Amino acid sequence: MDRPSFGPGSLLVATPSLIDPSFQRTVILLLAHGDDGTLGVVLNRPSETSVQTVLPGWERWVSKPRAMFYGGPVGSSSALCVGVRRAGTSAPAGSLEQEIDSLLDPVARPLARVSGELVLVDLDSDPLEIFTQLRGARVYAGHSGWGAGQLADEIDQGSWYVLDSEADDVLAGPSVDLWFRVLRRQGLPLALAAYQPLEPSLN
């Protein structure tokens, strides 16, 4: 079977066989992919730390719950913000075509397009100038990263489903089982994977 293509805007959804506690039942949004590797953030791991604690002045602008989300085990002292553009607003010029190492540095413009309605928000910008263009955003502590070829190997080993994202996946709160929701909206037979138990051996 051919490996599914992936890139910025793709979702990685952990398969039931992925039991690593760092990634079990996670949904990861890919933000960048290139020759040097791949970078994304976990969408469904909220923390108990408020955005206000880490980024004073930003809490009122992010979607509820106004908490930091765990983006992944890499660079836990850094933060990334992913936003969803309002309907009718212009997409940022160009696309997110930066090297993986430079993605965590301040970008040249307040909003950088990831894919579709999804944008990367420069946290050094004035939120007053940004959030009229957005209908929601999340802030992530750390990120998930793979070296060149590493993610492709994990997909071939059956650790991840590669699926299309929807903008509202970024804004889903902790009351939403995002892993279940993303799988359930797929056609059969993949939708049945949403009903797999936490321990596949018990099925």
Q: What is the CATH number for 160? A: 3.40.1740.10
Structure confidence by residue, pLDDT tens digits, 128-137: 888 889 999 9
Regarding predicted confidence, which is higher, 74 or 110? Answer: 74
At residue 143, does pLDDT exceed 90?
Answer: yes
Confirm whether 60 is domain-assigned. Answer: yes
Q: What pLDDT, on the 0 to 100 scale, is given for residue 197?
A: 77
- Provide the domain count of the chain: 1
Q: Which two tokens stand for residue 176?
A: 């939403």
Kindly tell me the number of DSSP H helices and DSSP E strands found in the chain.
5, 10
At residue 102, does pLDDT exceed 50?
Answer: no
Confirm whether 181 is domain-assigned. Answer: yes
At residue 84, does pLDDT exceed 70?
Answer: yes
Structure confidence by residue, pLDDT tens digits, 147-178: 999 999 999 999 999 999 999 999 998 899 99
Question: CA triplet 103, 89, 143: central angle to 5 degrees?
Answer: 25
Q: What pLDDT, on the 0 to 100 scale, is given for residue 33?
A: 92
Confirm whether 160 is domain-assigned. Answer: yes
Q: Are 138 and 84 in contact (CB under 8 A)?
A: no
At residue 193, does pLDDT exceed 50?
Answer: yes
At residue 146, does pLDDT exceed 90?
Answer: yes
Label residues 57-78 b or e (16+ Cβ within 10 Å = b).
Answer: ebbebbbebebbbbbbeebeee
Nearest CA to 117 among 171, 68, 161?
A: 171
Give Cα 123 to chain centroid, integer Å: 16
Predicted structure pTM score: 0.88
At residue 188, does pLDDT exceed 60?
Answer: yes
Confirm whether 101 is domain-assigned. Answer: no
Average pLDDT over residues 16-34: 94
Strands (E), the chain: 10-14, 27-34, 37-42, 46-50, 67-70, 74-85, 111-115, 118-121, 134-147, 160-164
pLDDT-derived band at 92 (thresholds 50, 70, 90) equals low
Confirm whether 182 is domain-assigned. Answer: yes
- Quote the CA–CA distance of 170 and 114 in Å, as a whole number: 12
Confirm whether 5 is domain-assigned. Answer: no
Q: How many CB atoms lie within 10 A of CB 7?
A: 14
Nearest CA to 127 among 70, 67, 52, 71?
A: 52
Decide: helix, strand or coil at residue 84: strand
Domain range holding 121? 10-93+106-196
3-state helix, strand, coil in the chain (%, to 5): 20, 35, 45
Confirm whether 187 is domain-assigned. Answer: yes
pLDDT-derived band at 101 (thresholds 50, 70, 90) equals very low
Confirm whether 66 is domain-assigned. Answer: yes
Q: What pLDDT, on the 0 to 100 scale, is given for residue 203?
A: 46
Average pLDDT value over all residues in the chain: 87
